[in-house]
């Protein structure tokens, strides 16, 4: 077997690294290789101390990286658990999230929201029923950038109270005649919380899901 200071020893080390699945396996493989090379070294070409030190440093680095990865994984898991516990406080609360649905009881007022990418000098909200018929168009006037809540008195365009049921909302806004990106927002009740692949997810009262980070407001 070639001495550690040779090119072959680097290949042997790489082989030891590739065959090891954990830092413990890596250390065991490396030590076996080292002992074998010490026993079979060429007296006329003894081990190179500098090369040995370098390779031991590589071993230490790989072991350290694995421990770091394990620590980071633990931290990520702990963070996810913490976020889920915090989000659990939202269960049964009302949140404002992206969506175009609105439920109306047939009495009183109902509400929805809108998010404007930038300030608008004119905005309107259109409410339609389940069959797609326009029930009411509300002039919102000028609005600043950001999230806004909007109330609907439950009356249609003729001043007649709308029937109970589910309605759709659409919001548009312009600045100097140019359309501004506008997102309708829906009030929903949080039914459940769970940890998903993209973070903490909320199951809403209408059966849909959303990321906890996408909640605009909660009440």
The one-character DSSP state at 132 is S
For the record, the structure tokens of 3 come out as 């001495």
CB atoms under 10 Å from CB of 122, counted, come to: 16
Single pTM value for the model = 0.61
> Rounded distance, CA 9 to CA 51, Å?
10
95-152 pLDDT tens trace? 999 999 999 999 999 999 999 999 999 999 999 999 999 999 999 999 999 999 999 9
By DSSP bridging, strand 178-180 and strand 209-211 are unpaired
pLDDT confidence tier of residue 170, bands split at 50, 70 and 90: very high
Q: How confident is the model at residue 201 (pLDDT cuts 50, 70, 90)?
A: confident
Taking the C-alpha atoms of residue 191 and residue 186, their distance in angstroms, rounded to an integer, is: 15
- Residues 132, 34: Cα–Cα separation, whole Å: 78
- Closest among 202, 45, 46, 177 to 122, alpha carbons compared: 177
Fold designation for 91-218: Immunoglobulin-like (2.60.40)
Provide the pLDDT for residue 45.
Answer: 53
Between CA 122 and CA 147 the distance in angstroms is 15
CA angle 211, 213, 217 (to 5 degrees): 105
Q: What is the DSSP string of 13-27?
A: HHHHHHH-SSHHHHH
pLDDT reading at 186 higher than 90: yes
Show me where the domains of the chain are located.
7-88, 91-218
The pLDDT of residue 13 is above 90: no
Strand partners, 116: 146, 182
Mean pLDDT of the 13-18 span: 54
What percent of the chain lies above the pLDDT cut of 90?
45
Supply the mean pLDDT for the chain.
78
Contact by Cβ (8 Å): 102, 166:
yes
- Would you say residue 43 has pLDDT above 70? no
Please give the average per-residue pLDDT across 149-162, as a whole number.
96
Q: How far is CA 103 from the centre of its chain?
A: 28
Please check the confidence at residue 19 and state whether its pLDDT lies above 70. Answer: no
State the Cα–Cα distance between residues 89 and 107, nearest whole angstrom. 30
Per-residue pLDDT, averaged over 76-104, amounts to 76
CA distances 149 to 10, 183, 186, 198, Å, are 66, 12, 9, 27
Most confident of the following: 26-40, 109-123, 182-196, 201-215: 109-123
Instruction: Count Cβ atoms below 10 Å from residue 111 Cβ, excluding itself.
Output: 16
The answer, yes or no, to whether residue 86 has pLDDT greater than 60, is: yes
SS3 159: coil
């Amino acid at each position: 077997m070639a001495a550690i200071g040779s090119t072959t020893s680097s290949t042997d080390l790489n082989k030891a690294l590739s065959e090891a699945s954990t830092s413990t396996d890596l250390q065991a493989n490396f030590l076996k290789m080292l002992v074998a090379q010490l026993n079979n070294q060429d007296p006329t070409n003894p081990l190179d101390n500098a090369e040995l030190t370098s390779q031991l440093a590589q071993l230490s680095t790989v072991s350290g990286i694995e421990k770091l990865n394990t620590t980071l994984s633990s931290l990520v898991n702990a963070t996810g658990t913490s976020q889920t516990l915090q989000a659990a406080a939202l269960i049964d609360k009302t949140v404002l999230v992206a969506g175009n649905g609105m439920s109306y009881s047939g009495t009183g007022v109902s509400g929805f929201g809108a998010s404007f990418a930038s300030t608008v000098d004119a905005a309107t909200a259109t409410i339609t029923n389940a069959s797609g018929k326009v029930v009411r168009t509300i002039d919102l006037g000028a609005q600043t950038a950001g999230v806004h809540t909007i109330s609907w008195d439950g009356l249609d365009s003729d001043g007649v109270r709308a029937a109970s049921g589910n309605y759709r909302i659409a919001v548009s806004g312009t600045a100097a005649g140019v359309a501004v990106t506008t997102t309708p927002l829906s009030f929903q009740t949080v039914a459940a919380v769970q940890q998903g692949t993209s973070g903490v997810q909320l199951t809403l009262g209408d059966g849909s899901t959303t990321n906890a980070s996408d909640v605009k407001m909660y009440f």
